[in-house]
Structure 1
């Protein structure tokens, strides 16, 4: 039933687009009839999505129709209610839909951050969290800069994200930046809750060999993070530094130099 109704709305919109194209953007009788039919369908969908529940396909199609008719305010209201109405069950997709809509509208950064902050609490490993990190990094608030670090660590807590090279690149770059800005306490706060399991989860000798074989760029990013968090004695860090690669030789030297300068571990370790 869900599939039939959402397909009906989508097909209606496609036909409308075709009619408009064929008549040089002039509304033909066929187009007007189709618009009327689509709008009647939307009335039923409107009533449905007001009932507490998970109505993802209906909400997406209804919002698409509202946007097609130029009713941005109506679309925003539907998505806002779907995301924030306490009578509805918690639903990460509701916040994704609202965020994407606000992004299309070029909404202020503060609004985008507020939506992604809730999504972060619901699904810390969601693919939009990398975008959340970038927005936090651009903020002028120090609390947002700190949260930006939390977001990256939480992404990499999940097994499905261990090979996410973008997340590792962001973490490597951000660790260097915040340590240069003397925010050692931020790093220690995040690392203290992970120091007993991240070394095996991410930085074992096995993973060093595996990562170097599969993706050397990923291995280099992880080696830098490993060196920063565990010091030059980390087996992952030592293994990568011993590898000989003409393309990455300069990068590996830079990693060694940066770890020596910024590692949170005392030099003797």
Structure 2
């Protein structure tokens, strides 16, 4: 266990006399990628030793020799005695990052070792106090210590250092948000412990945590940003208290407000809420339209196609064909049975409604790409090995698209033929 003790001494008095060599150290893009830099002054033996010690730590970490890395880190902590401000600041960041990583993977790790490291780093790297507190809270959360994590964040919210900068303001805002999120976690735990729903609604302690969490999180979500976990927490709480209007308003603003960054998850949350509460087809289509503009390869595009077909409008059917074909142009969907079945359904619907003009227009624009991407001989051999049903569906789609080729044709043994016939019978029974 001795090699796990990171003896971090108190930092010495800051010396503001920085030389040009120290400035070059601050410009390094990565602490782990250390290479000798050109210096005008001669490097001291102390600095040379610590530099090579950092090389040894990096090598041990890359090869997962955690006990060896802990031993080298114990030596490297001597860099905190450096009187140069820039070098001491960089060393503190390195010890914090590497120390956390080594302790996380060390075979003899203990919660107490993490606490010692985090507390020392808070006192040594004053400018990183808020970030270290936040990371310490995350570590405590992983071990299920919600109340201890809340204490860490409470300490961080009251921390100030010099004149408050923009970065410090953002850090404190995030810490404040996680304070509200931890209130939500406590509320969720207490809700689970109460078996009766009426007891939950009337429980004062539970309602106190709800009020604290909801006020904090709603205040945060009003500001433009990507706040997925906090939005999800608000939705969960409001739905429990049957505040459906508040949930809908919150999700619509989160998804459709132009001041917010583009976020596919915002449209997914809104769609799932509308679907749960049986919203109209027009509302569902509008939400999925926004998602399609951001992520045309999203799995919900299959549901989007189904809703477009269900509407029966010519414009919607034409759009459904475009959506289905766009989906199949992504590698992850190339051999997906659901995607090809969806395309075939759209093509049959257009054919039955005598709207082949839409198929002709779409296939003209894509013919060259699709013949190379889906209907070559090697595609046929590969698809035949995976699924005869897929080959059957693709062949039908190719014929309707006017892309049928002898290079891609149905070739399967009698057993596969029986399987296709069985699928047809099952489908006819359902209809």
TM bucket (normalised to shorter chain) is 0.7 to 0.9
Among 204, 207, 221, the residue aligned to 1:49: 221
Gaps of 5+ in 2: 1-133, 142-177, 425-431
Report if aligned partners of 1:56, 1:93 keep a CA contact under 8 Å in 2: yes
Alpha carbons of 1:11 and 1:235: their partners in 2 closer, same or farther (altered >3 Å)?
A: farther
Which residue, out of 210, 213, 216, partners 2:382?
210
Structure 1 residues 76-115: aligned runs within 5 Å = 76-115=248-287
Aligned to 2:199: 26
Higher normalized contact order (CA 8 Å, seq sep 6+, divided by chain length)? 1
**What is the match of residue 187 of structure 2?**
12
Q: State the 1:250 CA deviation.
A: 8.9
Whether the 8 Å CA contact 2:191–2:200 is kept in 1: the answer is: no
1:117 alignment partner in structure 2: 289
The residue aligned with 1:183 is 355
Which string of whole-angstrom CA distances, capped at 9 and with x for unpartnered residues, describes residues 197-240 of structure 1?
Answer: 11111111111111110122112111222233345534112xx2
TM (normalized to structure 2)? 0.53
Q: Provide the residue aligned with 1:245 in structure 2.
A: 414
Instruction: State the alpha-carbon separation in 1 of the partners of residues 215 and 239 from structure 2.
Output: 15
1:137 aligns with 2:328: no
Do structure 1's residue 167 and structure 2's residue 339 form an aligned pair? yes
What is the DSSP-based 3-state SS (H/G/I as helix, E as strand, rest coil) of the residue aligned with 2:414?
Answer: coil
- How far has the Cα of 1:114 moved from its partner? 0.7
Q: Secondary structure at the match of 1:126?
A: coil
Structure showing greater Rg: 2
Change (3 A) 1:140 1:24: closer
Structure 1 residue ranges without an equivalent (≥5): 256-269
The 1-side partners of 2:316 and 2:197 are apart by 50
Equivalent residues of 1:82, 1:88 under 8 A apart? yes
SS in 2 for 1:163: coil
Q: Which of 167, 173, 195 lines up with 2:367 in the alignment?
A: 195
CA contact (8 A) 1:155 1:167 kept: yes
User: Distance in 2 between the 1:121 and 1:153 partners?
Assistant: 15
With over 3 angstroms needed to count, the CA separation of the structure-2 counterparts of 1:74 and 1:243, relative to structure 1, is: same
For these two proteins, the number of residue pairs brought into alignment is 247
* 2-structure distance, mates of 1:15, 1:126: 36
Q: Show structure 1 runs of 4+ deviating over 6 A.
A: none
How far did residue 55 of structure 1 move? 0.6
Q: How does 1:216-235 map to 2 (within 5 A)?
A: 216-235=388-407
CA contact under 8 A between 1:227 and 1:234: conserved in structure 2? no
- The alpha-carbon distance between structure 1 residues 94 and 152, as it changes in their structure 2 partners (threshold 3 A), is same
**In structure 2, what is the equivalent of residue 265 of structure 1?**
none
- Do the aligned residues in 2 keep the contact of 1:133 with 1:152 (CA within 8 Å)? yes
Cα distance, 1:28 vs structure 2: 9.3
CA distance 1:27–1:94, shift in 2 (3 Å): closer
User: CA separation in 2, counterparts of 1:208 and 1:246?
Assistant: 18
Query: RMSD of aligned C-alpha atoms?
Result: 2.5
Q: Give deviations 1:53-103, integer Å, cap 9, x for gaps.
A: 111111111111111121111111110110111110111111111111111
Q: In 1, Cα distance between the equivalents of 2:399 and 2:197?
A: 63
User: 1:47 deviation in Å?
Assistant: 0.6
Q: Cα distance 1:189–1:24, how it changes in 2: closer, same or farther (>3 A)?
A: closer
